């Protein structure tokens, strides 16, 4: 017999995008979060017109209020402030740490609370208003936005660093675009694709996301772009880091809010919700990879994500072929490609890889994009289009992963506990030593080339190794010119250590 009080379901979701360009009239992050929360409560009630409680009562009766980290909220405890604003005065409040995996991670923690039998009613909500902040700064306007008292009870605790090794940071690998462009070279090499073929494949991949964004009324950039437009360098689409032009980069300067309400299936039935009005969280998993990219033996893959995919699908009792649609984290092409491989999705598969539109086209509201993805998974299931959707969240540099399987029926097996999955990964993990410098023969593991705003290439950045040791080096002019026109992964170079703060220099 199924104990429905221990079966997690998403019962409501709300999203909004602010289009008001006047910073003095635009909503602040708390207004965005509060309205998204009300929309989520209304979404649950709209599916059961005769249901009680009302949307307002749904919020008042929340037992937990989890707020996704927001770059737009600079001070205090936003979770407590939001709970008071929406009337959830008895809710246990938590403000999350950072990372694109966080919303799904919070759903997973909520699912665990439900599986334990506590019958919680959980709000997961986040918002960013970075576009308004940017407009206000440009206009010299001081925003009189509310601040919260106290200090947030961050859950999980903030990491000591954001996944950047000191050697990586010292050599310019401290931007997301740099890291994911570096990964891209390793992905292309592993796929055996020439630069031209891989560039075309990236364009087709991102054009597929863009097409979904044009149909999503919440999208920040709804303009249709073809694969050629996405990958062709122009005045409006300058090269940022080879091989990434502007149009494939995540954009965080958006004004968006999204919220979810998660509870148990018995409570959903008590509220009058029909079977097809909820999304069962049928499988879930989360884990982190070797913390620093440069220490991972295989830069083109994520063992943690592969484990999460297998674990979450196993809990749901399905295989990847049973999934009707995916929302793979899409900050940059390499993030999608690595996730696609982890789920065993072959290029040319016609299933959607996003239900949202992707961070470059829908917009990437800080750590909160995946809240939108789960909301869209709920809408997709309610539409009757398919039986299973998978949502993936990725934090830092393919470092932290969270996976959720959303279905029209409960899962078949208990998920592997997160701590157990992490222990298994840690026990089998292999790492390479990362040195401040190396000298002599080395091999290129991955690389990228920065470009200035005028479109001129700057010294390339390479991850190189001489066996079990790695370092970061900068290519000379000749090597840099070679890197933009060929697959150079595996190429042998000579590295000279820098001195007096000079970076390591690599020559062909």
Domains 4-156+251-428 and 433-507 in one fold:
no
For the segment 449-461, what is each residue's pLDDT rounded down to a tens digit? 999 999 999 999 9
CA 198, CA 195: separation in Å to the nearest integer?
5
Q: Which helix (H) or strand (E) holds 81?
A: helix 78-86
Which CATH class, in words, describes the domain spanning 433-507? mainly beta
Q: What is the pTM of this model?
A: 0.97
Burial (CB < 10 A; 0-12, 13-18, 19+), residue 487, is middle
DSSP states along 98-135: SSTTHHHHHHHHHHHHHHTT----EEEEEEEEHHHHHH
Q: Please, are residues 122 and 367 in contact by the beta-carbon 8 Å criterion?
A: no
Which architecture does CATH list for 4-156+251-428?
3-Layer(aba) Sandwich (3.40)
Q: How high is the pLDDT of residue 72?
A: 93
Q: Give me the pLDDT at residue 47, please.
A: 64
Q: What is the pLDDT of residue 53?
A: 75
Cβ-count burial 318-335 (b if 16+ within 10 Å, e if not): bebeebebbbbbbbbbbb
pLDDT (0 to 100) of residue 153: 67
Intervals of the chain under pLDDT 70: 47-52, 75, 148-153, 501
pLDDT attached to residue 348: 82
Domain range list for the chain: 4-156+251-428, 433-507
């Amino acid at each position: 017999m199924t104990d429905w009080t221990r079966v997690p379901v998403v019962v409501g979701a709300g999203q909004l995008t602010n289009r008001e360009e006047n910073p003095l009239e635009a909503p602040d992050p708390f207004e965005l979060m509060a309205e998204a929360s009300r929309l989520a409560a209304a979404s649950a009630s709209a599916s059961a017109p005769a249901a009680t409680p009302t949307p307002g009562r749904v919020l008042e009766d929340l037992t937990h209020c989890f707020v996704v980290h927001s770059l737009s909220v600079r001070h205090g405890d936003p979770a407590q402030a939001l709970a008071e604003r929406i009337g959830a005065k008895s809710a246990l409040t938590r403000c999350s740490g950072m990372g694109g995996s966080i919303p799904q991670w919070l759903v997973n923690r909520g699912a665990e609370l439900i599986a334990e039998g506590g019958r919680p009613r959980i709000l997961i909500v986040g918002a960013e208003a970075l576009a308004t902040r940017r407009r206000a700064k440009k206009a010299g306007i001081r925003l009189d936005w509310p601040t919260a008292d106290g200090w947030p009870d961050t859950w999980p605790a903030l990491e000591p660093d954001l996944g950047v090794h000191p050697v990586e940071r010292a050599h310019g690998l401290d931007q997301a675009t740099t890291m994911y462009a570096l990964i891209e070279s390793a992905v292309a090499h592993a796929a055996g694709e020439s630069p031209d073929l891989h560039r075309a494949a990236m364009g087709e991949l991102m054009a597929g996301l863009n097409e979904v964004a044009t149909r999503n009324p919440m999208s920040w950039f709804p303009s249709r772009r073809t694969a050629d437009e996405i990958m062709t360098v122009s005045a409006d689409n300058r090269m940022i880091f080879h091989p990434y032009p502007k149009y494939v980069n995540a954009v965080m300067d958006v004004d968006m809010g999204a919220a979810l309400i998660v509870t148990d299936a018995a409570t959903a039935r008590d509220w009058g919700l029909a079977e097809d009005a909820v999304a069962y969280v049928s499988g879930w998993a989360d884990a982190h990879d070797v913390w620093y990219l440069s220490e991972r033996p295989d830069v083109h893959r994520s063992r943690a994500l592969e484990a999460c995919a297998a674990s979450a699908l196993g809990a749901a009792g399905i295989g990847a072929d049973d999934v009707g649609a995916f929302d793979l984290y899409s900050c940059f092409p390499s993030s999608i490609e690595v996730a696609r491989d982890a789920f065993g999705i072959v290029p040319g598969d016609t299933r959607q890889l996003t239900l949202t539109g992707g961070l470059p086209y829908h917009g990437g509201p800080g750590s909160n994009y995946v809240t939108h993805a789960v909301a869209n998974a709920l809408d997709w299931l309610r539409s009757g289009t398919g039986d299973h959707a998978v949502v993936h969240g990725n934090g830092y540099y393919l470092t932290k992963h969270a996976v959720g399987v959303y279905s029209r029926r409960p899962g078949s097996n208990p998920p592997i506990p997160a701590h157990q999955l992490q222990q298994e990964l840690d026990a089998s993990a292999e790492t390479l030593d990362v040195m401040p410098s190396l000298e002599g023969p080395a091999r290129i593991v991955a690389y990228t080339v920065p470009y200035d705003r005028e479109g001129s290439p700057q010294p390339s950045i390479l991850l190189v190794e001489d066996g079990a040791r790695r370092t970061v080096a900068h290519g000379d002019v000749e090597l840099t010119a070679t890197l933009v026109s060929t697959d150079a992964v595996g190429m042998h170079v000579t590295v000279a250590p820098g001195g007096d703060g000079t970076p390591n220099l690599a020559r062909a």
